[in-house]
Structure 1
């Protein structure tokens, strides 16, 4: 390894919701929580049997979900009265915080469904704050162009651009790097200690080191990056964030700081007091 790549990991097959087939990339045996990132799933199939059952209504408390679509459409409804449809190139951000019940269901009966869901932890001071939700369609996502390649900035700041997803008090980045030619894309370090890259199409070179489709790499936090395609077309999700540095207690859709808080979340859900 060249000093940029700290480790390499591959996701594992998994199912969630009502049986949706997916690949769990973060929060699996070889790669646990990467503070502040709790989980990263990729769902990708053109077989409706793999996704049609969707994610019927279920609870969350204590963290944020960020859904980003490459292809297909997913509909969202929640207990706060929010609803929307996220399509290719768009994102939906949901701060579950003290509690929300939501469902995510395919808005299609056939064709390719491809996207990601990222879970981002909240600091203890925010875990019981009010729930929030926002829809960010494709046209609201800034595109930073390099030749025939580009960065789509979903969250955070890069080169004077701001992604539509911003979270008060937390500084994190989510960017989609798409390569249609061999143009190199520079990404300068912002000093965020957790820095990850996942290649979802083709293969790329990060400071000369090849990373293949399906690989997630942990990257040095302080190095500037030069990223180019090793085989086009290529696509890569880049994540960076500042660790919260607090204990993590997780039970399924609840992420708190202590086991006692988890048990309270379960009781609140069972007694209809999770939301509101």
Structure 2
């Protein structure tokens, strides 16, 4: 067994997207090889509707898949294929844009005005860039939850984990997408596929992700949960943790526990031509997508 090293921890940065949605972006529009096959990850949340109510009006996508996971509030969606629906708390939507789709996503708060969700973009391989678009909407009750003896709980959104299989299937990157909660003071080792790109995103509580070069944490002046760790070294709310290669990660939960998304997928290792919501392999393909948008041929007939 080999512990994955922590390559980097960084805070998601404030950003405004859509028609004025305040969010935090963990990565995106940088080096596409950094998280290959994943391109972008946004954390959108707010306690007041003015932070999100204008939503993400009609816009195009081609060449990618988008994964929307809602924790609080709702997201009403619609697309150019006639699909309509509402994502409630705990639900997930996986949209394969493929050859092209126009859609909108409009967040709504719960009774307390709170809204919280995540969106992840996954790249499509060149062989599937122009595949037929499709949606998968999965209700929160259909996402399995598995709980270990120490109280660690995992919602299995995609892939297999601890004997449970997530309900989302047929995705090109064949990813694993988990929502993991580790109770206060617990130390947990989690198996991951050696050859997959893997990242964690902490969104509640805090924890220390062990590094292969310092598996017991950073030894500093303050004793914490049985080891000497400076509490400032804990990865807290809105922190992205990037890992190197290996087949397991270890996290030490802080005094309030830690909750994080753990996402992994097989790298495509293909060239990327990217402009806004359209991701292709070559500049010519990208220019063709722009021409299709201008001349009204962006939406292709089903095949």
TM-score range, shorter chain: over 0.9
The match for 2:179 is 176
Deviation at 1:144, TM superposition (A): 1.3
**Comparing 58-67 with 29-38, which one deviates more in the overlay?**
29-38
2:142 is the alignment partner of 1:140:
yes
Looking at structure 2, the residues matched to 50 and 95 of structure 1 have their Cα atoms a distance apart, in angstroms, of 27
The match for 1:201 is 204
Looking at structure 2, the residues matched to 76 and 236 of structure 1 have their Cα atoms a distance apart, in angstroms, of 25
Q: Matched residue of 1:195: which SS?
A: strand
The match for 2:117 is 115
The 3 A distance-change label for structure 1 pair 184 and 88 is farther
**Comparing 69-78 with 170-179, which one deviates more in the overlay?**
170-179
Q: Matched residue of 2:99: which SS?
A: coil
**Comparing 54-63 with 2-11, which one deviates more in the overlay?**
2-11
Looking at structure 2, the residues matched to 256 and 143 of structure 1 have their Cα atoms a distance apart, in angstroms, of 36
Does structure 2 retain, via aligned residues, the 8 Å contact 1:156–1:163?
yes
Per-residue CA deviations over 1:134-175 (Å, capped at 9, x if unaligned) read 100101111111243311111122233211222345321111
Per-residue CA deviations over 1:75-102 (Å, capped at 9, x if unaligned) read 1111111111112111001000000000
The 3 A distance-change label for structure 1 pair 3 and 117 is closer
Looking at structure 2, the residues matched to 220 and 143 of structure 1 have their Cα atoms a distance apart, in angstroms, of 27
Deviation at 1:211, TM superposition (A): 2.0
Deviation at 1:29, TM superposition (A): 5.4
The match for 1:124 is 126
Deviation at 1:192, TM superposition (A): 3.3
- Structure 2 runs not aligned, ≥5 long: 211-215, 218-233
Q: Matched residue of 1:130: which SS?
A: coil
CA RMSD across the alignment: 2.0
Looking at structure 2, the residues matched to 143 and 85 of structure 1 have their Cα atoms a distance apart, in angstroms, of 22
**Comparing 34-43 with 168-177, which one deviates more in the overlay?**
168-177
Provide the TM-score with structure 2 as the length reference.
Answer: 0.85
The match for 1:94 is 95
Does structure 2 retain, via aligned residues, the 8 Å contact 1:9–1:31?
no
Does structure 2 retain, via aligned residues, the 8 Å contact 1:192–1:240?
no
2:158 is the alignment partner of 1:155:
yes
Moved over 4 A (4+): 28-33
- Structure 1 runs not aligned, ≥5 long: none
Looking at structure 1, the residues matched to 160 and 4 of structure 2 have their Cα atoms a distance apart, in angstroms, of 25
